[in-house]
Amino acid sequence: MTNVREHVYEPFTEQSVLVYLEKKGLITDKEQVTCKEVGDGNLNYVFIVKDLQTDKSLVVKQALPYAKVVGESWPLSLDRARIERQALQEAAKYVPTLVPEVFDYDDDYAVTVMEDLSDHVILRKGLLEGNLYPHISEHIGTYLAENLFNASDEALGPIEKKKLARQFVNPDLCDITEKLVFTDPYQNAESNSYPENLQEAVESLWQDDRLIFEVAKLKKQFLTEGETLLHGDLHTGSVFVTEESTKVIDPEFAFYGPAGFDIGAFIANLTLNYIAQQERADESNRHEISDYLLETIEQTWAVFEKRYRELLLEKGFEERQRTDQYADYVLEKIWQDTLGFAGCKTIRRIIGLAHVEDIDGIEDETGRLQAQQRAIETGRSLIFNRSVWRSPKSLTAYLKGLAK
C-alpha cells in the first residue's frame, strides 16, 4: 500500500472540470450549470462555472505544466497554483475585501476554486476605455502597505518570517521574471519581441554600459533581497475593478523579494498607460485621464507610505525600531527600489516577451513608435534617477513633460 498519488494531474476541459466539481460537492448537478474557459493570460486555464438555477457562479483556475504563451517548450512547476492560493489566503488575513475569496483548492490538480469577479473589469481594459476608478489609489496603496509590511521581518520577527518565506520559494516563476524583466531586454535574446523600426532605440539601450550596470544591480536585488512576500506580477492586468471595488488577482509569481518590486510594477503600468494615452486616437478625455493617472501614481505611493509607517510604528516587532527615523530609512529604500524596478518593468513591456495592450493597441504606427521610444526613455530615466527623484512628484513632473 502506498500514500503516493501517482499522476493525478490532468488539464481540465470544459466538461471534465464539471465532473471534478461534482465529485468535490462544489456543484450538485453538472447538467444544471454552464462552463466556459475564459483564460486570456499567459499561463493558466480559467473556467467560469455558472449554476443556471441559482445564477451563482465560481471560477476554477488551473495551472498548466508549461507557459501557455510560449508552449510546452517552457515547462513550469504546478506548485505555483499552491503558491498563488496561499498568497491569496495570506492577503485575505489583512485585506479580505481586496482579494478574491478562495472557496476550495486541490494541489494535486493545481486548482483553486474562487469567487467569480465577472462583474468587475480588468483595470488595464477599463483605463484603455477611458474609465476612471476613484478608489484605486486608496485600495492599491492599502493592499501594498498591508501585505508588504505584514510579511516582513519588521512585522513577524526573524523566525516567523523565515517560516513563512520558505513556503514561497518559487524558482520557475522567478526565473521568468529574471529572464524577461532583467536579462533578455538588455541583449540580443531570442525571446525579445519588438518592431523593426525600434531597432535603433533598442541597440542604443544595449550599448548603454551605464544602464546595463544599473539593471545588473537591480537584478541582484531581485535575486537576493528577501524583504517581504510580494505579489510578484502586480501590473494593471492583475487588478479587477468596478467603480467601488478593487480585487488584486493572480499572485502566482509570489515570493520573498524586495518590497519596491510590487509598487514599481504598478507604477510602471500606470506610466505605460499614461504614455499610450498621449497617442490614442480618441482625444476626448485625454487630459482628464492623464491627470487622473498622475494623481493615481502620487496617491498610491502616499497611501502606501502613510499606512506602512503607521503599521511599523504601531506593530513593529522590535520596540526600538518603532521610530519615524527607522520608518524614513525603510521607506526611502522602498521608494528608490520602486523607481528602479518601475524602470525595468517599463522597458521589458516594449522590448521583451509579453507586451501590453496599452502600447501595442495604438493603431497609428507613428504614434505607436513614439510611445515605444518614450517608454524606453522613461524606463531609463526611472532607473538612472532612482536616487535623485525623492518623491512621486518628480516622476509625474517628468511624465507631464511628455504630454500632448
Q: How many residues bind ligand SR1 (CB under 6 A)?
A: 10
Does the protein bind Mg ion through residue 90 (CB under 5 A)?
no
Question: Closest separation between CB of residue 67 and ligand SR1, Å?
Answer: 4
Question: Could you tell me the CA-to-CA distances from 281 to 44, 195, 286, 350 in Å, in that order?
Answer: 33, 21, 10, 20
Partner whose binding site includes residue 176, from Mg ion, ligand SR1, none (CB under 5 to 8 Å by kind): ligand SR1
Question: Closest separation between CB of residue 119 and ligand SR1, Å?
Answer: 23
Please, which residue, 66 or 326, has the CB nearer to ligand SR1? 66
CA distance 101 to 95: 11
Contact status, residue 81 vs residue 65, Cβ threshold 8 Å: no
Neighbours of 79 (CB within 10 A): 17
Mark 241-272 as b/e (b = at least 16 C-beta within 10 Å).
beeeebbbbbbbbbbbbbbbbbbbbbbbbbbb
Contact status, residue 268 vs residue 345, Cβ threshold 8 Å: yes
Does the protein bind ligand SR1 through residue 192 (CB under 6 A)?
no
Query: Which one of residues 250, 279, 305, 358 is an interface residue with Mg ion (CB under 5 A)?
Result: 250
Residue ranges of the binding site for ATP:
44, 61, 115-117, 250-252
Question: Closest separation between CB of residue 260 and Mg ion, Å?
Answer: 20
Does the protein bind ligand SR1 through residue 272 (CB under 6 A)?
no
CA distance 266 to 256: 18
Interface stretch with ligand SR1, choices 18-26, 176-184, 195-203, 273-281 (CB under 6 A): 176-184
CA distance 219 to 207: 18
The binding track of 349-368 with respect to ligand SR1, each residue x by CB under 6 A or -, is: -----x--------------
> Residue with C-alpha cell 497554483?
81
Please, which residue, 176 or 327, has the CB nearer to ligand SR1? 176
Q: How far apart are the first and last CA of the chain?
A: 71
Does the protein bind ligand SR1 through residue 42 (CB under 6 A)?
yes
Please, which residue, 273 or 378, has the CB nearer to Mg ion? 273
Q: 40 is written with which cell numbers?
A: 486570456
Does the protein bind ligand SR1 through residue 180 (CB under 6 A)?
yes
Does the protein bind ligand SR1 through residue 176 (CB under 6 A)?
yes
Please, which residue, 176 or 399, has the CB nearer to ligand SR1? 176
CA distance 86 to 329: 30
CA distance 278 to 183: 29
Question: Closest separation between CB of residue 138 and Mg ion, Å?
Answer: 23
Question: Closest separation between CB of residue 371 and Mg ion, Å?
Answer: 23
Query: Which one of residues 38, 52, 69, 397 is an interface residue with ligand SR1 (CB under 6 A)?
Result: 69
Does the protein bind Mg ion through residue 153 (CB under 5 A)?
no
Contact status, residue 156 vs residue 256, Cβ threshold 8 Å: no
Say which residues have a Cβ less than 8 Å from residue 179's Cβ, sequence separation at least 6.
189, 191
Mark 88-107 as b/e (b = at least 16 C-beta within 10 Å).
bebbeebbeebbbebeebbb
Does the protein bind Mg ion through residue 358 (CB under 5 A)?
no
Please, which residue, 41 or 343, has the CB nearer to Mg ion? 41
Contact status, residue 251 vs residue 231, Cβ threshold 8 Å: yes
Interface stretch with Mg ion, choices 19-27, 35-43, 208-216, 356-364 (CB under 5 A): 35-43
Question: Closest separation between CB of residue 7 and ligand SR1, Å?
Answer: 25
Question: Closest separation between CB of residue 125 and ligand SR1, Å?
Answer: 15
Query: Which one of residues 233, 262, 337, 358 is an interface residue with ligand SR1 (CB under 6 A)?
Result: 233
CA distance 61 to 46: 5
Query: Which one of residues 21, 33, 49, 67 is an interface residue with ligand SR1 (CB under 6 A)?
Result: 67
Residues near ligand SR1 (CB under 6 A)? 42-43, 67, 69-70, 176-177, 180, 233, 354
Residues near Mg ion (CB under 5 A)? 41, 250
